[in-house]
Structure 1
């Protein structure tokens, strides 16, 4: 009886810790068999409603015939940082049942982590959000690559618009920038489950 009560007590304690933290999972991309860590993030919506969203916890590394690149064209960069995609490829890169993050998903996550002036620190590798966005750099249409280890550039989709959006995290600062960008740039992709 004492063993059962001790086991139950440990289980309840573990569950309480899980509810206080974000939960993690694993996703196997059926297209190429690659394994990705995922993070389940609960966010509060207007009026106090909450929703749980599952995000890839790693940059997408799905090789597309057209529009995906390894930094400096070295496969080893893809193994570490994931692939970089131009906008048209990014729109199709996420596996079935997943999508590029949209403005609302970025906005509620930003609000949860202190706003644009401080949420960047939480979004970065090792940050409180669990997203672990990394400084994967970006590529230009002319084939040059810039900023690996310095900044991370992530595609996002604006609701009701085909214009490419970009979330940029910066090394050494807590803020992030959110802007529009030329569709020919080659940036990282993080997917969110539908």
Structure 2
């Protein structure tokens, strides 16, 4: 297994060095907790001083069943299409070992790469240039109300890997911008994990 991973990483570095953009490179991740398979996307991000890093993101919304995770309107079929919606307490624990919720540095670098906050939202959406393919999965309230499926996508984030304050990235149908907010931790939102 170690040889396969090393070979894959060497191939990835070679592909990027030959001008293939990182979002053209996809992979697969098998969650060892429940055996679910997720597409992944490798995204090259520019750092300060001209350095760059390649980050692997889940290319699909997390769908790991756990306490604090819900299907939209409690229909399993929504989970099959859009993944689960998590309250903040669950979101802090939901990503598999070796993965984490995206932080502001990762989102900021991705936003800069795609034209800034006024236009990057369009590239984050399904079919967009970033390769993230964020879905309009809606959200849930603690009282059991669910709204906005097919209209907006709400994704948990945090300021940094140690921060425990709930942050939210929202993509909107019909506009190119996204919004970046703080929100009550009882809300139920989608998750895209990033490999450590």
Shared fold per TM-score greater than 0.5: yes
Deviations for 1:148-188, whole angstroms, at most 9, x for unmatched residues? 00000000011253210000000000000001000000000
Given the superposition, is the C-alpha separation of residues 158 and 20 from structure 1 closer, same or farther in structure 2, using an over 3 Å criterion?
closer
Q: Structure 1 CA distance, aligned partners of 2:23 and 2:182?
A: 33
Matched position secondary structure for 1:58: coil
Q: Structure 1 CA distance, aligned partners of 2:22 and 2:39?
A: 19
Whose radius of gyration is greater, 1 or 2? 1
Shift in Å, 1:22? 3.0
Deviating runs (4+, > 4 A) in structure 1? none
1:92 is aligned to 93
Note the aligned Cα RMSD (angstroms). Answer: 1.6
Q: Structure 2 CA distance, aligned partners of 1:152 and 1:77?
A: 14
Given the superposition, is the C-alpha separation of residues 21 and 57 from structure 1 closer, same or farther in structure 2, using an over 3 Å criterion?
closer
Alignment of 1:120 with 2:121, yes or no, is yes
How many residue pairs get aligned? The number is 181
* Structure 1 alignment gaps of length 5 or more: 1-11
Shift in Å, 1:19? 4.4
Alignment of 1:45 with 2:47, yes or no, is yes
- Report if aligned partners of 1:22, 1:42 keep a CA contact under 8 Å in 2: no
Q: TM-score, normalised by structure 2?
A: 0.89
1:4 is aligned to none
Given the superposition, is the C-alpha separation of residues 38 and 20 from structure 1 closer, same or farther in structure 2, using an over 3 Å criterion?
closer
Q: Structure 2 CA distance, aligned partners of 1:18 and 1:118?
A: 23
